[in-house]
Amino acid sequence: MTEQVRRDFVKYSFFKVDPAWRRLPVKERQDSKAQFAEVLSEFSDRVTMSSYSLVGTRGDVDFMLWKVSEEIEAINELMARINHTDLAQYLTTPHSYLAMTRRSPYIDDHKHEGQEGTGVSTMRIVGRKYLFIYPFVKTHEWYQLPKEERQDLMNEHFVIGHKYPDVKISTAYSFGLDDQEFVLGFETDDPSHFLDLVMDLRESKARPFTLLDTPIFSCLSKPVEACLDDLG
């Protein structure tokens, strides 16, 4: 019998607030933020969650919730509860990504300090100051390559990644679940290291097999109350 291994659902939800919300009386705005935060706290035992502000980094989104749960039902119920809050009347979701964890087929004996999220079937949010997220799709040609050739190309990625041990990658898989194939998240305390990592990866031999790796979101880790205060 195959051993049952825990695998997590991963959901990135990006929100944009309607400017009309900022014209509400202060008391209504404060109450709506408190209500929203309270709903999130009610699910803390079922959904691991971290919040991020994108005010100042993108124009189409204001904040993001990164959610991890063994149950898709828990994420569904959480989002349904959010829809019933007063703040939800003024929120849109310009971007939203669903994925799951699984063990990478390219990591067997490979070990990289701080990169355990790439080799196991669960996801751990480290909580560093910055998070960079983007959906990812490979070309059809990639999947037609022999496994050994793909492994060699990925090994080059690992060598490049070793140069940036403080950038922690979280890889989630979306095959059959959402439009993209992967959702990649990179946590770091120094954005310049992530920028340098991406530039190095652009020169890798696997780069021509990338079909899509945008949009890219630069997220600042903050308590949800601070994210909501950034709205106005």
Say whether 102-218 and 9-99 share the same fold: yes
32, burial (CB in 10 Å: exposed 0-12, middle 13-18, buried 19+): buried
pLDDT at position 1, please?
A: 45
- What's the rounded Cα separation, in Å, for the pair 210 and 194? 18
CB-CB neighbours of 192 under 10 Å: 8
User: Is residue 131's pLDDT more than 50?
Assistant: yes
pLDDT at position 120, please?
A: 55
Domain ranges of the chain: 9-99, 102-218
Query: Which sign, positive or negative, has the C-alpha torsion 166, 167, 173, 178?
Result: positive
**Residue 70 DSSP label:** S
- What's the rounded Cα separation, in Å, for the pair 38 and 43? 9
- What's the rounded Cα separation, in Å, for the pair 53 and 13? 12
- What's the rounded Cα separation, in Å, for the pair 67 and 15? 14
Amino acid (one-letter) located at 149:
E
What average pLDDT does the chain have? 92
- What's the rounded Cα separation, in Å, for the pair 116 and 123? 9
Amino acid (one-letter) located at 41:
S
CA angle 134, 172, 100 (to 5 degrees): 130
pTM above 0.85, yes or no: yes
pLDDT at position 115, please?
A: 45
| Local confidence band at 126 (pLDDT 50, 70, 90 cut-offs) | confident
Could you tell me how many helices (H) and strands (E) the chain has, helices first?
6, 9
- CATH topology for 102-218? Alpha-Beta Plaits (3.30.70)
What is the per-residue pLDDT across 198-232, written as a single tens digit (0 to 9) for each?
999 999 999 999 999 999 999 999 999 999 999 99
- What's the rounded Cα separation, in Å, for the pair 136 and 119? 18
H-assigned helices in the chain: 26-42, 72-83, 140-144, 147-162, 191-202, 224-229
pLDDT at position 214, please?
A: 97
CATH 3.30.70.1030 fits 9-99, yes or no: yes
Whether residue 16 contacts residue 217, with contact meaning beta carbons closer than 8 Å, is answered with: no
What is the per-residue pLDDT across 82-115, written as a single tens digit (0 to 9) for each?
999 999 999 999 999 999 999 888 776 544 444 4
pLDDT at position 106, please?
A: 75
Task: Locate 36 and state its tokens.
Answer: 């929203």
What is the per-residue pLDDT across 159-198, written as a single tens digit (0 to 9) for each?
999 999 999 999 999 999 999 999 999 999 999 999 999 9
